[in-house]
Structure 1
Amino acid sequence: MKNTKIITVSLATALAIGAITANGVLVSADAEKGTIKVAASATPHAEILEEAKPILEKEGWDLEVTVFDDYVQPNLVVESGDFDANYFQHIPYLDNFNEEQGTHLVNAGGIHYEPFGIYPGTKKSLDELEDGDTIAVPNDTTNEARALLLLQDNGVITLKDGAGLEATVKDIEENPKNIKIEELEAAQVSRVKDEVAFVVLNGNYALQAGYSVSKDSIAHETSDSEAAKTYVNVIAVKEGNEESEAIKALVDTLKSDEIKDFINEKYDGAVIPFEDSADADADKEETADVTTDTETETTEEAAE
């Protein structure tokens, strides 16, 4: 009987303080804020969102994730207000969708990008490149441009000024080693790795080809590259909702150290957390604060 009373009192106390979720997480009553409904593609987006659920739950948010297998409905359900946000697309696709469909969706925050990388074929280092060697790249407009920009960033070729993300082989201005660029369908590029010096692939095809993105790539797009900034995968919301408390909580969680660590550990470099200038500034401020605190403590200790 005594044990029953203790359990009853403990439960009553817990309920007075807050609420216990289905997962056993105690949430402050003041922290119960509502539901965030997000439409997402399965990999890696929904997987990342699932990892964010318990973090948001502790803050009082119930994150509901619905997986879609197309790239149209996730935008339409956000436009209609049935969902609060979606997570599956990059900015060029979002902008084009708005233009074609008359929707009013905006980027609420960049979360990750899936980098292009240069991978070994018959050679293991770009220093081994010889006159007339061949490098295989995807032949579709977007992916070919990213491949060429990556080759330029690593000193293999030089493109005409302004070619940017519309670059083709016709925009190669300097090619000191007369490298032959073999253009193939994206899915075919990895299949010629034993016939060419190097292949340039995006993350998913690299994984399918058996490459370890983090260990095998000779070089890959960095978070400050033009391609990464352009093709960063974003949280999209209806215009006017990007500053709402729910969306800010969602974006902040997806950009948290916990989620960054999850992405880095799970995807072997095929998916990389996106660091924008605001993130970098925040990290600098945090480092500066820690440094200041340390200096203050040292001064106080010296004074003692």
Structure 2
Amino acid sequence: MEKTFNKHITCAFLYSITRYGYPPAAENMPQYIHEMADLGFQSIEIEGIGENHLKTVYQKRHDIKKALNERDIHLPVFCTVLPGIASPNKKIAQKNMDLFEIGCELTAYWGAKGILDNGPLVPYEFPSNMPIHRHYSPEVLINVSLSKSLSWEAYWEGVIYQMDAACELAAKYNLNYYLHPCMGSLTDTTDSYLLLKRQVNRPNMKFNFDTANLYYMHENLSLGLLKLGNELDYIHISDNCGQKIEHQALGNGQIEWDLFFTTLKQIDFSGNLSIDVGGDESHIEDINNAYIQTAYSLEEKITTYEIY
């Protein structure tokens, strides 16, 4: 019998991104599902990255569901990448909200519990021909500007309105809305997320605790876990050395994992640990081995600290 990992250990879509580039062809999504299942995962992520990619995923939705069912794979979240959802430009924001509803429909159709996206992005004026990035580096962000007509107060009110509308739309499909921390977003730390959460005050707004990104942002991970407490149910797991944006296999960075899992036990964590290793920034030669070894390491930690 082939090895299968704990059902709470998820293979993030960064696996397919690392193998096939960003974004990987949406029409091949059933293939990616089978490849992640072949590694031994019972739980995976998939993504719809921008308008064209998301719409192609929608066209393939039945084939995707068939692949999930054939391999008895659970999909805890579906990830969309819609950076314009909190744009100060109302037309752009509405277009992205319409795309977000497509994402919600897909998420519900596949039986996932939530839809995940980056936290609202600061409205930097990027060059018009700049492609979608997984992560905006400090070098990129330090050299982009903001509109001279931007009013922070008006923009913040708009963000609250859009996030409230997104939560309401997700709730219509009985979904949680997970915000991902990344550089350039308004939820790059647990504190910034909690500030937004207090303003929006929707119970289905959640935080995707990304260990590598938060560590790079100098977050104290254990303190962050305690702040979120039993509200936290989804974590992206990867290691980081604290010097650059990277997503390394567990143990190949400087995160103190024993302390991390001690705190997970303290908050009675019972959600998903999603392995989010790879990307061009991480320079991993054997991505299959990185995922498999990280999954084994997680199983060991789960047993040692009696998680679940």
Q: Give the structure-2-normalised TM-score.
A: 0.28
Q: Give the structure-1-normalised TM-score.
A: 0.28
Determine which structure has the larger strand proportion and give its number: 1
Greater radius of gyration (CA) = 1
